[in-house]
Structure 1
Amino acid sequence: MELQQLRYVVAVAETSNFTRAAERCHVVQSALSHQIAALERELGTRLFERTSRRVRLTPAGEAFLPAARECLEAADRARAEVAAASGEIRGGLAIGAIPTVAAVNLPVALKTYRRHHPRVRVTLLSAGSEELIERVRRGVVDIAFLGLPPHAEPKGVQSHRLGAGELVAVVAPDHHLREHETDLRGLADEPFIDFRTGHAGRAQSDEAFTAAGVRREVPFEVSSAEFMVDLVRQGLGVGMLPAAYAPRFPDLRIIRLRDAPTRAEHLIWTNRPSPATTAFLNLIRPTPATTSPT
């Protein structure tokens, strides 16, 4: 059993197609098919069901795939550790971030990291905090930036609290509300544009309105801050954004809140950080971080 065979199995499993898998692995399809067939003979079982329309894993293939990924990850880690011992950081680094991260200038950090560690393959995923926590737990993402309600802590991952900040209300330039500052009760009769129920970005606002004894209506639920801003621009309602993020949209009017919702930003990473992950952590936070063990 060879590492290259494992790579071919993972590629076919992820693309459900021998041709696309061969293109991903930069080999001709006949060579990839031959190696997988040889591995199946060695294992004494078929890993894939092949039809004219699709390719899918057999039950044996489903059982084999996680172990194959673990072997490849261990091999990549071994190479990275050897390179790091020689003073060179290499390998892959998968970063996740909420769209409204404000505690760190992420584009600048990525540019600095790439300049110092050009041999690292960096990827970036934008998603919600809940999804990012789960991806880091599973090892799909190495490090992520989150925004959570102030009392919440990410579980099952290493974490470092970057800081906390208030939210502000944002409205269209011609919105009837003319105040520059108010409280949540002053917004009680307004329609809101907010993230979907259960989203971490929604929870911090809901908790603040509940604590203030204010019931609000949220007729527009969105999945991104950019979509929220687009709807706010049309005068469809009031949006809630982090105070450090809202100035990115200078065409909107900002209303500060005396009893503003707050959120905390966290940096999280896998329990077994690679040299590439450790190098990024040292760039973002030079001091030791805390661990969330559960």
Structure 2
Amino acid sequence: MNLRQIEYAVAVADCENFTRAAETCHTVQSALSHQISRLEDELGAPLFERTSRRVRLTPAGRAFLPAARQLLHDAQRVRDEVAAATGQIRGTLSVSVISALTAPDTVALLGEFHRRHPQVDIRLGSGMSEVMLADVREHRVDVAFVGLWPGEDITGLNALLLCDEALVAVLPPAHPLAGAAELSLQSLAAERWVDYTAGCAARRQTDEAFDRAGVVRSVHFEIDHVGLLERIVRQGLAVGMMPAGSVTSLDGIVAVPVSDAPTRCVYCVWARRPTPAAQAFVELVVDAAKEA
């Protein structure tokens, strides 16, 4: 068993396809398949179920994957720690953000980080908070900016609270409720709603707020990105809720405070043992938070 075989197997698990995994690993599919077969022979169990359409992990593969990710992470960490000991920060920095992040300016922070540490390969992505938390725990992402609700589990990670903010109702200017000084969930319940996909953390908290208020609403539009929510509200198709700081720069949308709205907490989260690159970036985030 060697690190290259493990890297190939993890790539196949992530891509669910041998051809795409070979492209990701910059090798040919035949070489990748051969190395994975050798790995499976040594482990004494198949890691993947191969079909004509996709590749799935076997039970043995699911058991293999977390330890394999940790091993690759530790191997890269050894290289990065040695480089850091000689005054070089290098390797990869992977950052993920929620789509409705209002502060800090992640792109500006990454720009400053790049100027200080040009040898680091920077990756930036976005997604849902619960997915990003899992990505940080499993070393797919180094640092994430997530929006969580009071009481949500962030055990096993370092976390810096950046801000907390109540959600506000967002409506088109011509909506009958757009001129109100304040609304309640009761007053909004009869409207058509746009919200995040059912089951995700952001949606659950809004649903729970309506449950506590003892009212039922109807979600007509389900989205996974705040930009689509804005467009739907702007066209008068539905009303929604967003963090107050996200609305200030938007045209064609009116924000109204909601007396019993849920509150979102924005955190920067990273692994308990960050890589040198991740630690250097977190230090920039901490400094920016102190100046805010």
> In the superposition, relative to structure 1, how do residues 187 and 282 fare at CA in structure 2: closer, same or farther (>3 Å)?
same
How far apart in 1 are the matches of 2:271 and 2:47? 31
Normalising to structure 1: TM-score of the pair? 0.80
* Structure 1 residue 160: Cα displacement: 1.5
Alignment partner of 1:244: what SS?
Answer: helix
User: In structure 2, do the counterparts of structure 1 residues 206 and 46 end up closer, same or farther at CA, with 3 Å as the change threshold?
Assistant: closer
Question: Corresponding residue for 2:183?
Answer: 183
Gaps of 5+ in 1: 289-294
Quote the Cα distance in structure 1 between the aligned partners of 2:250 and 2:61.
49
Q: Distance in 1 between matches of 2:262 and 2:189?
A: 14
Bigger drift between 101-110 and 171-180 goes to 171-180
Q: Pick which of 121-130 and 148-157 moved more.
A: 148-157
For 1:44 and 1:188, locate their aligned partners in 2 and report how far apart those are by CA, in whole Å: 56
Amino acid of the structure 1 residue aligned with 2:228: F
Contact in 2 for aligned 1:192/1:216 (Cα 8 Å) = no
Distance 1:282 1:20, change over 3 A: same
1:283 paired residue number: 284
* Contact 1:183-1:260 at 8 Å conserved across structures: no
Q: Give the superposition deviation at 1:63.
A: 5.3
Cα 1:9–1:180, aligned 2, differ >3 Å: closer, same or farther? same
CA RMSD of the aligned region, Å?
Answer: 3.4
Residues 246-257 of structure 1 mapped to structure 2, 5 A cutoff: 246-257=247-258
Q: What are the equivalent positions in structure 2 for 1:136-285 lying under 5 Å apart?
A: 136-184=136-184, 185-206=186-207, 208-209=209-210, 213=213, 215-223=215-223, 224-285=225-286
User: For each residue in 1:224-277, what CA deviation from the matched residue of structure 2 results, as whole angstroms up to 9, or x when unmatched?
Assistant: 222222221221222111111012321212223455542211111112211111
Match of 1:292 in 2: none
Q: Indicate the SS of the match to 2:122.
A: strand
Q: What TM-score does the superposition give when structure 2 sets the normalisation length?
A: 0.80
Structure-2 separation of matches of 1:287 and 1:250:
28
- Counterpart AA for 2:176: H
CA contact (8 A) 2:70 2:139 kept: no
Provide the rounded CA distance (Å) in 2 between the counterparts of 1:83 and 1:92: 13
Deviates more, 1:111-120 or 1:189-198: 189-198
Bigger mean CA deviation after superposition, 258-267 or 270-279: 258-267
Judged with a 3 Å threshold, the aligned counterparts in structure 2 of structure 1 residues 188 and 274 are, in CA distance, closer, same or farther, namely same
Conservation of the 8 A alpha-carbon contact between 2:70 and 2:138: no
Cα distance change of structure 1 residues 173 and 2 upon mapping to structure 2, 3 Å threshold: same
TM superposition shift of 1:143: 1.7
**Residues of 2 paired with 1:270 and 1:82: CA distance?**
19
Structure 2 residue runs without a partner (length 5+): none
In structure 2, what residue type is equivalent to 1:215? V
CA 1:199–1:77: 2 relative to 1, 3 Å: same
Aligned residues: 287
Query: What percentage of residue pairs aligned between the two structures are identical?
Result: 42
> Rg: which structure is higher?
1
In structure 2, C-alpha distance between the alignment counterparts of 1:247 and 1:101, rounded to whole Å: 13
Once the 2 structures are TM-superposed, how far is the Cα of residue 68 of structure 1 from its aligned partner? 3.9
Q: Secondary structure at the match of 1:182?
A: coil
SS at match of 2:141: coil
Specify the SS of the correspondent of 2:104: coil
Q: How far off is 1:72 after superposition?
A: 2.3
How far does residue 67 in structure 1 lie from its aligned partner after superposition? 4.2
Q: 1:14 to 1:44 in 2, by over 3 A?
A: same
Distance apart, 1:13 and its partner CA: 4.7
